[in-house]
Structure 1
Amino acid sequence: MQVAGGNRNAANKPLDSNGKREWSNGLCGCFEACGTCCYALWCPCIVHGKNKQRLAHLSDKNSPDPDGGSCCSGSCWGHCLLSSCGLSFILQCMNRGETRGRYGIEGGGCGDCCASLCCAPCDLVQVSREIELEEKSFGQRY
């Protein structure tokens, strides 16, 4: 699905009868993006902040964030604060839902919550890789 310069289905996943598709990368495919996976394991707030900012820039400006997302954004600090009491999965769940909505990916809130709660680092990497595919479709290197 080509929209405003970016391809929201860059991996050309087939659409179902409802116009939805699967994620471009599996939840357990996080080790295929080793650097992002390491950040997601040891500094998940940074990956969450970057994902949130990159997605917002694509939504607002219809172009990739030239900075690749800031690691010290409000989303990053919010994630860090909530992780101190074990609740950061809530922000990840919300961002996962926004990502699914933007890319027309099938699923729902329950699945988003389970992925964010049970597989938090893998969730962060999967969302990052989905955003990255659209960013790359602009013909720029990210």
Structure 2
Amino acid sequence: MSLTNPGNVEEHPWSTGLCDCCGDIKSCCITFWCPCITFGQISEILDKGETSCVMNCAIYTLIYMLTSCACLYSCCYRTKLRREFGFKEDPCNDCLVHCCCMHCALCQDTDLKWFDWCVGWEGNASQHREVAMAQRVEGSMRR
């Protein structure tokens, strides 16, 4: 199942700027104090539930503790997110964005309004199935 924005093929700008991370204070605070949580939530959804938030959070933390270069791991997911949802590579290369401004990049990565990052892949998948079913039933009732 794909939770992408259907029909959106061409690249478009991010809905927030890289330094607009204080738009959602809750996400901003969580990302500032514990970026591994935000990364875990992002990665679980991008991996479509094949990996868990906790596992990716632990891998991120381990990489950070051993090398201080967790940005090299998280930038791969930014690239995956950008390609999946058709965002422009802006303001520069994904790796540079995460290495120079990791907290802001993670906040920007969560700015997909049709996802509830806190409920994970299964929660989002079931919400989207319910919406699709309601639309299908509503459409059949009009005929």
Return the TM-score normalized by structure 2.
Answer: 0.69
Query: Aligned residues, how many?
Result: 118
Counterpart of 1:75?
Answer: 56
Residues 28-59 of structure 1 show CA distances to partners (whole Å, capped at 9, x for unaligned) of 1110011111111111111100110122228x
Counterpart of 1:40?
Answer: 31
RMSD: 3.0
- In structure 2, distance between residues paired with 1:46 and 1:37: 12
Percent identity, aligned pairs only?
Answer: 27
Counterpart of 1:7?
Answer: 5
- In structure 2, distance between residues paired with 1:52 and 1:99: 9
Counterpart code for 1:39: I
The higher relative CO (CA closer than 8 Å, separation ≥ 6) is in 1
- Greater C-alpha radius of gyration: 2
| Contact 1:45 1:79 (C-alpha < 8 Å) held by counterparts | yes
Counterpart of 1:134?
Answer: 114
Structure 1, gaps ≥5 residues long: 10-14, 61-68
- In structure 2, distance between residues paired with 1:93 and 1:40: 15
Which residue among 101, 112, 123 is the counterpart of 2:105?
A: 123
Structure 2, gaps ≥5 residues long: 117-126, 132-143
Which residue among 83, 87, 95 is the counterpart of 1:113?
A: 95
- In structure 2, distance between residues paired with 1:118 and 1:86: 13
Consecutive aligned runs of 4 or more in structure 1 exceeding 4 Å deviation: 3-6, 136-139
